[in-house]
């Protein structure tokens, strides 16, 4: 038994040693520093938005004890992510892992570097789910909750699996529990910020309220509710596309919108500037309108 425990102990230590160089210290607030992950080539570092309280005088502490200046490329408060760039030093990006083979009960390690050396805490995956929306309106591709203890300064650091590969970025700011933002979400946000300096989000310009559809139409469409327009902003994409007060949205770009969350999820960066078909219920009949999606400022 002792040999088994010793073997597990050595394996955990080797995981931390292998993943540690991609974990950095982020100096972006007055109090305790936080952590970050070397995400990709070109000195791209990701961390948690809530730990970057200033936009200048940022620095990053590396595994070899160097401290170098960092530039804030952009941030997305809705997913609690910030992207930094470090130049002039060679950084090795973290090795990513897919969530496909991850299950509740799997052992995971949360790593951080709020000080000079890497720190670690062990736990299990306590909950896995599908995509969800944060209170600020951001879309997270998968719900990944663990029981790891998020020590001060661990936000922004990686969650790693038993192979030492990164599953996501740890944060305690989204729901008050230990959550990890999966790699797919981080990749999407990083790509948008590097391309546009921010995360683009679609804009329709309407106020909506869920409403039950007529029974026959509900059966035909396979959805019980739509979104009735209670306001249409002047000069908005909705007004330009011919949507009017009292219309009931049924679908956008071919996807049903029975709830507000469904509409918000569809208004992604991919649709900005695109002409889409919006199906509405108007005067007892279903009709289609062409609307060009704007960009939320």
Catalytic pick from 155, 178, 192, 251? 155
Domain count, the chain: 2
Whether 20 and 127 map to the same domain: the answer is yes
Catalytic pick from 76, 80, 141, 247? 80
Q: What is the pTM of this model?
A: 0.82
- Quick one: pLDDT at residue 190? 96
- Quick one: pLDDT at residue 2? 65
Which of 199, 221, 243 is the C-terminal boundary of a domain? Answer: 199
Q: Which domain holds residue 262?
A: 202-295
Whether 40 and 171 map to the same domain: the answer is yes
Whether 153 and 33 map to the same domain: the answer is yes
Residue 263: CATH number of its domain: 2.30.42.10
- Quick one: pLDDT at residue 215? 92
- Quick one: pLDDT at residue 200? 82
Catalytic pick from 50, 141, 180, 253? 50
Whether 213 and 191 map to the same domain: the answer is no
DSSP string, the chain: -HHHHHHHHHHHHHHHHHHGGGEEEEE-SSSS-EEEEEEETTTEEEE-GGG---SSSEEEE-TTS-EEEEEEEEEETTTTEEEEE--SS---PPPB--STT--TT-EEEEEE-SSSS-EEEEEEEEEEES-EE-TTS-EESSEEEE-----TT-TT-EEE-TTS-EEEEEESSSSSS-EEEEHHHHHHHHHHHHHHSS---EE--EEEEEEEPPHHHHHHHT-SEEEEEEEE-TTSHHHHTT--TT-EEEEETTEE-SSHHHHHHHS-GGGTT-EEEEEEEETTEEEEEEEE-EE--
Whether 191 and 206 map to the same domain: the answer is no
Whether 30 and 115 map to the same domain: the answer is yes
Which of 156, 171, 199 is the C-terminal boundary of a domain? Answer: 199
Establish whether 80 is a catalytic residue: yes
Whether 136 and 274 map to the same domain: the answer is no
Report the percentage of the chain scoring pLDDT > 70: 99
The parts of the chain modelled with pLDDT lower than 50 are: none
pLDDT in tens, 7-39: 889 999 999 999 999 999 999 999 899 999 999
- Quick one: pLDDT at residue 179? 95
Whether 82 and 182 map to the same domain: the answer is yes
pLDDT in tens, 70-104: 999 999 999 999 999 999 888 989 999 999 999 99
Residue 83: CATH number of its domain: 2.40.10.120
Establish whether 50 is a catalytic residue: yes
Which of 199, 229, 253 is the C-terminal boundary of a domain? Answer: 199
Whether 162 and 29 map to the same domain: the answer is yes
Establish whether 155 is a catalytic residue: yes
Whether 21 and 59 map to the same domain: the answer is yes
- Quick one: pLDDT at residue 1? 62
Whether 100 and 37 map to the same domain: the answer is yes
- Quick one: pLDDT at residue 88? 81
- Quick one: pLDDT at residue 262? 87
Whether 178 and 217 map to the same domain: the answer is no
């Amino acid at each position: 038994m002792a040999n088994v425990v010793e073997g597990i102990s050595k394996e955990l230590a080797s995981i931390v040693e292998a993943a540690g160089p991609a974990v950095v210290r982020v100096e972006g607030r007055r109090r305790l520093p936080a952590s970050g992950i070397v995400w990709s080539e070109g000195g791209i570092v990701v961390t948690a938005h809530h730990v970057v309280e200033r936009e200048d005088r940022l620095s990053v502490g590396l595994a070899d004890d160097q401290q170098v200046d960092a530039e804030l490329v952009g941030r997305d408060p809705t997913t609690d992510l910030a992207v930094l760039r470090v130049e002039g030093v060679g950084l090795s990006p973290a090795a990513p892992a897919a969530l496909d083979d991850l299950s509740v009960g799997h052992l995971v390690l949360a790593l951080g570097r709020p000080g000079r050396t890497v720190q670690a805490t062990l736990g299990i995956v306590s909950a896995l789910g599908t995509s969800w929306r944060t209170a600020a309106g951001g879309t997270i591709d998968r719900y990944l909750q663990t029981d790891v203890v998020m020590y001060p300064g661990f936000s922004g650091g990686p969650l790693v699996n038993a192979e030492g590969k990164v599953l996501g970025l740890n944060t305690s700011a989204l729901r008050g529990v230990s959550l990890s933002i999966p790699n797919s979400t981080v990749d999407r946000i990083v790509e948008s910020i590097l391309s546009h300096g921010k995360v683009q989000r679609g804009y329709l310009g309407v106020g909506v309220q869920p409403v039950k559809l007529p029974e026959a139409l509900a059966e035909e469409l396979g959805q019980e509710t739509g979104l009735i327009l209670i306001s249409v902003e002047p000069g908005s994409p909705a007004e330009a596309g011919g949507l009017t007060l009292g219309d009931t949205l049924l679908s956008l770009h071919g996807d049903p919108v029975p709830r507000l969350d469904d509409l918000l999820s569809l208004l992604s960066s991919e649709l900005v500037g695109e002409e889409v078909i919006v199906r509405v219920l108007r005067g007892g009949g279903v009709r289609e309108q062409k609307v060009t999606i704007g960009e939320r400022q």
